[in-house]
Amino acid sequence: MSDLRDNRLVQTFAELRAAGGKALMPFLTAGYPDLATTEALLEDFEARGVRVCEIGVPFSDPIADGPTIQASYTEALADGVTSRGIFQTVRRYRDGGGGMALTAMVSFSIVCRHGVERYLADAARAGFDGTIIPDLPLDEADAVAPAAEAAGLANVLLIAPTTPPQRRLAIAARSRGFIYYVSVAGITGERDRLPPETIGAVAELRKHTDTPVCVGFGIGRPETVAAVCEVADGAIVGSAIIHRITDAKGQPTARLVAQIGGFVEELLAPIR
């Protein structure tokens, strides 16, 4: 079984921490508006300095995604996007020299349907470095962990604002790569500001774990990225990116990629 020291996600956060750096983690819905654009966006993000990217595997009944990401999932599924196609896209990105750490946000239903060991092994072979399974209960995480580590994948777990303190510590102890701290109760979506208690909760969590902590849900402005990264190791931005992809659809791919890349560069600016 792998100890994950060679895992790209683990190495990236170790390098960032050693350099006093922070991570911006953009989220992309795989296959939205199409898989070729997803691949082009990955290449663009990396060229702009992004070190880690989260890729959502479309699912018909997303767990905590707001209307923006739900709509992107629905359209991608209607266009025939599958896990196999996503894996092929990631493999092309890797074969082309792509070096960002990639995490797959994927429902446990999809993983189970394919078979846990098979799905995780296929994801690793494609070039993923980690998995985020938002509907994976803590007890089930113990069963998934050996298959993930055998495949060389970091199994990232989530902590919500409503998670009791002792359970937070149990989740933190089991999470690999980083801990996904959900900034607000409810669904994803752009917000003007995050609850002030989020910063305090992340600071408290950092006292009890050496595992990097990244904050997601509601982050979509450079100033919010800056505020989150005062205490966290990274900021995850999803709905704000997908919203802009939706607005840019219908344009030539190069123009869409340049627009979204420009927004990501704005988000990166406070933590460079």
Q: Is 65 a catalytic residue?
A: yes
Tell the residue number behind the tokens 């803590």, with chain if given.
Answer: 138
DSSP letter, residue 141 = H
Please name the helix (run of DSSP H) or strand (run of DSSP E) that holds residue 182, with its range, or none: strand 179-182
Number of Cβ atoms within 10 Å of the Cβ of 232:
27
Sign of the four-CA dihedral 92, 216, 212, 110: negative
Nearest to 175 by CA among 52, 58, 4, 1: 4
Longest dimension (CA), the chain: 50
Say which of 34, 39, 44, 65 is annotated catalytic: 65
> Which residue is associated with the tokens 């446990």?
108
Element of type H or E holding 94: helix 83-95
- Give the DSSP H/E element, type plus range, for residue 28: strand 23-29
Query: What residues contact 96, with CB distance under 8 A and at least 6 apart?
Result: 43
Q: Is the dihedral of CA 32, 35, 37, 42 positive or negative?
A: positive
The DSSP symbol for 63 reads: S
Which is catalytic among the residues 34, 39, 54, 75? 54
Determine whether 247 is an active site residue.
no
**Residue located via tokens 């560069």:** 265
Using an 8 Å Cβ cutoff, are 129 and 9 in contact? yes
Active-site residues: which are they?
54, 65
